[in-house]
Amino acid sequence: MTTAAELASYASSFPSFRNRIINGNLSNPINQRGAGSITASTGYTYDRWYYDGSTYLYQGIEDKNVNNGTYVISWEGAGINAAWKVSTDTTANNGPDATTGFTSVSNGGTFTVNEGTEYSKHLWIRFDGTLANLDKVMVEEGTVATPFEHRPIGTELALCQRYYCIEPGNFNTLMLRPDGFRFVPWFFPVAMRATPTIGWSAFQPDGTGTSGSTTLTTTTKTFLRTDSATTINGNPYFQNPYASAEL
């Protein structure tokens, strides 16, 4: 006979999006930036994870995913400390605007979000300690931690791409305007959280001294273009263009 505990364990094996953390499987992470480790440099390293360069590792859970209620946090790995807070952040791509105001919480412990207006503040989770040991991070509604939720890798990547995406390799500006400028549209894999910041690792001109820029950027697309007229036979391209709408 199937017991209630067995049914609960069976149900927990299905991806139900109960985990508010994105990319919590740190032993097999989404790593679009190609970071050497989660603490390789100051800033965002593995997707959705921000390292302050010395002590703390953060993940911000977007306000649209933060409803009032009780949450339970869990993780694997020894020597790890955790804390949480909710806040309104106005500066993007830099982790929490303020690093004060966090409240400690234990592994398997609970905390309560109770804002006057739901979905108005980000929920920040902070870790410190032996960060190399951190794995299988979960933040879910409820009072009892459940087994780690393994979502399909394609699903996890799409969740990450709401905040950051990259087009590896060379992105050629194939379209030639009548004025001699070249451009190419880039449609993002998913709609991004906000209008993203666009960058690239390098711009390869065609020998006429052109430089690169973007125009008409929205949450779903941008146009990469040259900043001056190019030769008909030129082939300027952007290397590894990326779009970032991180918290």
List, for residues 41-76, the tens digit of each pLDDT value. Answer: 999 999 999 999 999 999 999 999 999 999 999 999
What is the DSSP track for the chain?
---HHHHHHHHHTS--S----SS--TTS---TT--SSTTSSSEE-STT-EE-SSS-EEEEEPGGG--SEEEEEEEE-SSEEEEEEEE---S-SSS-S-----EEE-TT-EEEE--SSTT-SEEEEEEEESGGG-EEEEEEESSS--------HHHHHHHHHTTEEE--SEEE--EE-TTS-EEEEEE-SS--SSSPEEE-SEEE--SS---EEEES--SSEEEEEESS---TT---EEES-EEE---
Residue ranges of the domains in the chain? 4-151, 165-244
For domain 165-244, the CATH architecture is: Sandwich (2.60)
pLDDT score of 234: 62
Per-residue pLDDT of the chain (247 residues; tens, 9 = 90+): 455 455 445 445 555 799 999 999 999 999 999 999 999 999 999 999 999 999 999 999 999 999 999 999 999 999 999 999 999 988 888 999 999 999 999 999 999 999 999 999 999 999 999 999 999 999 999 999 999 999 999 999 999 999 999 999 888 776 767 776 778 899 999 999 999 999 999 888 765 545 788 989 999 999 988 776 655 556 778 889 999 999 9
